[in-house]
Structure 1
Amino acid sequence: MTHHHLQVGDTAPEFSLNNQDNQAVNPMALAGKRILLSFHPLAWTSICEIQMRTLEVKHTVFKELEVMAYGISVDSLKSKQAWADAMGIKETNLLADFWPHGGVARQYGLFLDDTGVSNRANVLIAPDHTVEWIKIYDIHEVPDIEAIIAFVNQKKQ
């Protein structure tokens, strides 16, 4: 059973999760910035790795666009720490949506009950905390980050 995911125009649920450095992160507390939540099913899998590395590679671009990008999966903190180290990810917050299991993914309607992980999805949240762009990808598809960058560039003009 999949839940009804958030639509453009919906208010994005506020949450706080710990990142790979075990610091509590509340993305919605950042005033005036866009937030990109990049949900992925599991750490240590190849497509998820590309998805997270892409966030890291585009960190400077996001910074210029005033977008804060976060990777989110249901993995535990320890797994996230080891994975971030293995990938050399320094700038991007990888958030552990581990307990309650997939709690944030559920709030966003992206949790997959049959497999216990989240969908692969990107959710872009405007500074007023409404969802302005959302896309769910096939589990074997690498999300197109350029599409999001183009969208934000357009918005900022």
Structure 2
Amino acid sequence: MKLIAIGDPAPNFSLEDNHDQFINLSNYRGKNVLLSWHPLAWTPVCTDQMRSLENNWDNFQKLNTVPLGMSVDAQPSKKVWASALVLENLSILADFWPHGKVTQDYGLFIEKDGTSKRANVLIDGKGIVKWVKVYPPAQLPDINEVLQVLSNM
């Protein structure tokens, strides 16, 4: 399974989010999209990662960017977790079935664990991957780095 690379077309998907809506990547043409993978809901670093996206919602809007949280957790779990975190704007997507299919398409699935790597993938308004960063599992992605990359796109 090869990690998605800068310059690759981003694989399209349709996944259910915490708001009971199906999110299609192709619907966001003309906007940048941040796909922010976290290994599993209900864990401390993943919680901080999703809160950082929610807390920077206005910054993302100013940069014409839609942030989306991603993991292989089931949608009911994502819905309750998002409610517990008071995520009002952020959509967190459930790549549960077929298990981790989108995560596999992006080369971020960890077969032996059945989870994803922690990663950020930035996609431009034409659907092309512009930045990819994979983090150690226990490392919180630096939201300021993400915003800086976006401001230079």
Alignment TM class, shorter chain as reference? over 0.9
Decide which moves more: 144-153 or 110-119: 144-153
The C-alpha deviation readout for 1:5-59, integer Å capped at 9, x for no partner, is 0010011000010001211111221221000000110000000000000000000
Partner of 2:140: 142
Partner of 1:54: 52
1:91 to 84, 89, 92: 89
2:31 to 30, 33, 36: 33
Partner of 1:66: 64
Q: Could you tell me how far 1:148 is from its partner in structure 2?
A: 1.3
| Residues 1:120 and 2:122 aligned together | no
Aligned identity (percent) is 42
Structure 1 CA distance for aligned equivalents of residues 31 and 109 of structure 2 = 26
TM-score, normalised on structure 2?
0.98
Q: CA contact under 8 A between 2:3 and 2:108: conserved in structure 1?
A: yes
Structure 2 CA distance for aligned equivalents of residues 118 and 53 of structure 1 = 19
User: Displaced runs of 4+ in structure 1, greater than 6 A?
Assistant: none
Structure 1 CA distance for aligned equivalents of residues 35 and 55 of structure 2 = 16
Indicate the SS of the match to 1:6. Answer: coil
TM-score, normalised on structure 1?
0.95
Q: Could you tell me how far 1:122 is from its partner in structure 2?
A: 0.2
Indicate the SS of the match to 2:69. Answer: strand
C-alpha root-mean-square deviation of aligned residues, in Å? 0.7
Aligned length, in residue pairs: 153
Equivalent AA in structure 1 for residue 76 of structure 2? K
Partner of 1:106: 104
Structure 2 CA distance for aligned equivalents of residues 134 and 45 of structure 1 = 23
The C-alpha deviation readout for 1:61-99, integer Å capped at 9, x for no partner, is 000100000001011111001100100001000100000
